[in-house]
Structure 1
Amino acid sequence: MLRIILGVLVGIAVGSVCVWAIETVNHLLYPFPAGMKANDMNAFKSYIDNLPFFGKFMVIIGYAFGALASGFISTKISKNGKPTAAIICGLIFLSFTIYNMTVLPTPIWFWILGILVWTLVLAGYKLALNKNSFK
């Protein structure tokens, strides 16, 4: 049980770093407007609303890398051969994603991909079971 908890915690941390890294690249490609304050939610909503397709799609790419990494790492750490830790990671990330999509202006395609992409934790789980993957 402790290995599963540790797997989930590390999986969430690693997945979060992956999402953050891709979103950081995205902010380099599509910087915030000059003078925008970090805590100004209306300005942030306007930024998201005016972000081009690729800027929004990069967020989905970040989610995909986060899902794969968290599924992989949580499975490797839990060492029980079951997808439990990976699924828990996916559900936690999914709940954060749904919250973000409810408070920010996101199109329907983003909702669909934003929900489906977290099933990639199971691909990370499968990769972790591969005997040739990192031990």
Structure 2
Amino acid sequence: MARRIIGTIIGILVFGLATTLVQLLGHMLYPPPPGVDMRNAAEVARIAASIPVSAKLIVLLAYLVGGAAGAFAALRLSRWSPSAWIVLALAWAGNVLNLMAIPHPLWMAIGSFIAPLIGVLLAQRLARTG
């Protein structure tokens, strides 16, 4: 039981770390304008609306990589198939909060749910526990 809990928690943390690292890469490629307060939701929403499609695709890539890395870590450590789905459920919960805070184009909103799902499915194949 402890293995399942710890493995799942580590998977969740790996999801967050992997997603953050890919998004940091996106910020390096497409830096926000100087002086922007990233804690100001209105400012972030304004910037998000103006970024190029390629920058938005990096965000979806972050969700894909995060889903795959987090689920893989959870599956390998917990040796329990539902751990991957728990990682995905929390990723989706975070997406809902993000979509409520920052307006997204419809295609990106849909993609933010599909990308981590694909990542989890890939992780299950790689971990061979699904």
Unaligned runs of 5+ in 2: none
Q: How does 1:1-135 map to 2 (within 5 A)?
A: 1-80=1-80, 83-119=81-117, 120-129=119-128
TM-score after normalising by structure 2: 0.92
**Residue by residue, what CA displacement relative to the aligned partner does 1:64-107 show, whole Å, maximum 9, x if unpaired?**
00011111110001124xx2000000000111012101211200
Q: Quote the RMSD (CA, aligned, Å).
A: 1.3
Q: Is the 8 A contact 1:11 1:89 kept in 2?
A: yes
The Cα of 1:35 is off from its aligned counterpart by 1.1
What secondary structure does 1:105 align onto? coil
Unaligned runs of 5+ in 1: 131-135
The Cα of 1:53 is off from its aligned counterpart by 0.4
- Equivalent-residue separation in structure 2 for 1:59 and 1:3 (angstroms): 31
Deviation >6 Å, runs of 4+? none
What secondary structure does 2:112 align onto? helix
Identity %: 25
**Deviates most, 98-107 or 54-63:** 98-107
Letter in 1 for 2:125: K
Q: Is the 8 A contact 2:14 2:69 kept in 1?
A: yes
Say if 1:51 and 1:22 are closer, same or farther in 2 by CA, change over 3 A. same
- Equivalent-residue separation in structure 2 for 1:18 and 1:54 (angstroms): 19
Aligned to 1:133: none
- Equivalent-residue separation in structure 1 for 2:114 and 2:40 (angstroms): 30
The count of residues paired between Structure 1 and Structure 2 equals 128
Which has the larger Rg?
Answer: 1
